[in-house]
């Protein structure tokens, strides 16, 4: 049983014991199932909404309404939904309502200048940078950027690159598309890169088939007789291409480009391909309609990936809060210790890793989650 299921899945969690001093085992009957994180509350300046005012780490939404904040909270609180489904529902809300997460804005604006300065310094010091060609410079830049990200002491997630580099300048760019197409259909379209996607084979028994059928209905994909024949040929091997014209006198196909050019001259190429492969199960994504305005699907896909990271951070932090609060709810426990997560960050090792929470010190507040996406946890340490 995983950690979260253990905490919130209907069974009483088992306290973790550490060998510190004299350790005694305590099994509590008082741990509540769902800690009370407090009601969604406006911030004092009226510009935002705190989703969890009684939790150790607040999550504050800005640029939005109380209704949207409550809807986000309801998704995060849903005890039945799987975390992936929650992240998807959150992404739908984020993209439709373009709310901002204040704690993330602070994080990015605090660390971005240091990150950019570090990248610049590393590029300047790189022995190959000055003489490198443009493609090599792109490669060096990516290498240096990864190292600079790795050097940040506070790292909410592994894929920080997306969080820092793919943050969209304008989250409203997709609003016209979201008003026209279902979210799941657009998600599938962008996930595959839009019109840049090669032809995909999606057989009838593929679980994605209904979703691709829907893309065709929406005009975002085509198949069968509408497919671009040159693109279909790209999916065939040289042998497949040769087999298409076995009954004809043709030059030996040794290079794809030449074979493709020769085949495209045939009047009955579509029928020949259709007799060998099912064009019905092949799908090609179309460009977005002109009347939605100039939208770059690749940029939009990056923005959505960024949104996915944000929603994952929200979800992780929500669980971190609830886990810490559930641990503190052991009324007969005396002390708790931060259990550093292997995948958390140097800042946690430095600042919260050695902290002990003691009942004798009065008010009980957890030092974790220490930041958005902190995966450190609080454990009952039971020291005397």
Q: Toward Zn ion, which CB reaches closer, 57 or 181?
A: 57
Distance CA 215, CA 186 (A): 8
Q: Toward Zn ion, which CB reaches closer, 221 or 376?
A: 376
Triad 351, 45, 53: Cα angle to 5°: 50
Shortest spacing between CB 370 and Zn ion, in angstroms: 5
Shortest spacing between CB 346 and Zn ion, in angstroms: 10
Q: Under rule CB under 5 A, which residues in 79-118 are in contact with Zn ion?
A: none
Shortest spacing between CB 348 and Zn ion, in angstroms: 3
Q: Toward Zn ion, which CB reaches closer, 244 or 376?
A: 376
Q: Which residue has the tokens 């006198």?
A: 249
313 touching Zn ion, by CB under 5 A:
no
Strands 356-358 and 200-201: unpaired
Distance CA 203, CA 223 (A): 12
Shortest spacing between CB 55 and Zn ion, in angstroms: 15
Shortest spacing between CB 325 and Zn ion, in angstroms: 16
Of the listed pieces 76-84, 267-275, 324-332, 376-384, which binds Zn ion according to CB under 5 A? 376-384
300 touching Zn ion, by CB under 5 A:
no
Shortest spacing between CB 341 and Zn ion, in angstroms: 6
376 touching Zn ion, by CB under 5 A:
yes
Distance CA 187, CA 300 (A): 10
Q: Which residue has the tokens 């800042």?
A: 347
Q: Under rule CB under 5 A, which residues in 194-253 are in contact with Zn ion?
A: none
Q: Do the Cβ atoms of 381 and 335 come closer than 8 Å?
A: yes
40 touching Zn ion, by CB under 5 A:
no
190 touching Zn ion, by CB under 5 A:
no
Q: Toward Zn ion, which CB reaches closer, 160 or 374?
A: 374
Triad 289, 293, 299: Cα angle to 5°: 90
Question: Which residues are CB-neighbours of 172 under 8 A, at least 6 positions away?
Answer: 98
Measured CA distances, 201 to 57, 205, 275, 282 (Å): 46, 11, 16, 4
Please tell me the count of residues contacting Zn ion according to CB under 5 A.
5
Shortest spacing between CB 56 and Zn ion, in angstroms: 12
Q: Toward Zn ion, which CB reaches closer, 153 or 289?
A: 153
Structure tokens at 356: 């002990």
Q: Toward Zn ion, which CB reaches closer, 139 or 343?
A: 343
User: What are the DSSP calls for 264-287, one per residue?
Assistant: HT-TTHHHHHHHHS-STTEEEEPP
Q: Do the Cβ atoms of 320 and 375 come closer than 8 Å?
A: yes
Measured CA distances, 341 to 115, 123, 125, 184, 368 (Å): 24, 32, 34, 33, 11
Q: Toward Zn ion, which CB reaches closer, 92 or 369?
A: 369
Binding mask 314-353 for Zn ion (x = CB under 5 A): ------------------------------x---x-----
User: Strand pairing partners for 49?
Assistant: 42, 61
Binding mask 356-375 for Zn ion (x = CB under 5 A): --------------x---x-
Residue 199, SS3 per DSSP: coil
Q: Toward Zn ion, which CB reaches closer, 145 or 315?
A: 315
380 touching Zn ion, by CB under 5 A:
no
Structure tokens at 305: 């990936």
Kind and range of the H or E run holding 377: strand 377-380
Q: Toward Zn ion, which CB reaches closer, 284 or 317?
A: 317
Shortest spacing between CB 344 and Zn ion, in angstroms: 3
55 touching Zn ion, by CB under 5 A:
no
Residue ranges in contact with Zn ion by CB under 5 A: 344, 348, 370, 374, 376
């Amino acid at each position: 049983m995983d950690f979260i299921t253990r905490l919130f899945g209907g069974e009483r969690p088992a306290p973790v014991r550490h060998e510190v001093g004299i350790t005694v085992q305590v099994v509590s009957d008082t741990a509540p199932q769902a800690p009370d994180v407090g009601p969604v509350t406006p911030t004092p300046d009226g510009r935002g909404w705190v989703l969890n005012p009684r939790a150790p780490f607040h999550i504050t939404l800005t640029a939005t309404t109380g209704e949207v904040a409550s809807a986000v909270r309801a998704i995060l609180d849903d005890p039945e939904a799987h975390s992936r489904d929650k992240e998807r529902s959150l992404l739908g809300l984020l993209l439709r309502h373009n709310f901002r997460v204040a704690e993330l804005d602070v994080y990015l604006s605090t660390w971005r200048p240091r990150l950019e300065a570090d990248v610049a310094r590393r590029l300047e010091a790189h022995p190959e940078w000055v003489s490198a060609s443009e493609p090599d410079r792109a490669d060096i830049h990516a290498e240096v950027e990864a190292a600079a990200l790795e050097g940040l002491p506070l790292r909410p997630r592994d894929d920080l690159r997306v969080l820092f580099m793919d943050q969209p300048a304008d989250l409203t760019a997709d609003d016209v598309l979201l008003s026209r197409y279902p979210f799941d259909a657009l998600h599938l379209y962008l996930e595959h890169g839009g019109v840049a996607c090669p032809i995909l084979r999606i057989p009838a028994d593929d679980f994605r088939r209904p979703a691709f059928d829907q893309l065709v209905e929406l005009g975002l994909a085509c198949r069968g007789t509408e497919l671009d024949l040159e693109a279909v040929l790209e999916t065939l091997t040289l042998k497949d291409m040769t087999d298409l014209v076995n009954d004809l006198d043709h030059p030996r196909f040794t290079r794809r480009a030449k074979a493709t050019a020769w085949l495209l001259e045939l009047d009955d190429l579509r029928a020949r391909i259709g007799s060998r492969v099912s064009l019905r199960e092949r799908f090609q994504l179309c460009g977005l309609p002109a009347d939605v305005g100039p939208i770059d699907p690749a940029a939009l896909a990056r923005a959505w990936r960024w949104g996915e990271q944000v929603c994952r951070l929200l979800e992780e932090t929500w669980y971190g809060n609830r886990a810490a609060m559930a641990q503190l709810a052991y009324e007969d426990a005396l002390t708790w210790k931060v259990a550093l997560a292997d995948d958390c960050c140097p800042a946690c090792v430095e600042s919260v890793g050695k902290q002990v929470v003691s009942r004798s010190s009065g008010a009980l507040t957890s030092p974790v989650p220490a930041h958005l996406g902190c995966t450190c946890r609080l454990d009952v340490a039971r020291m005397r």
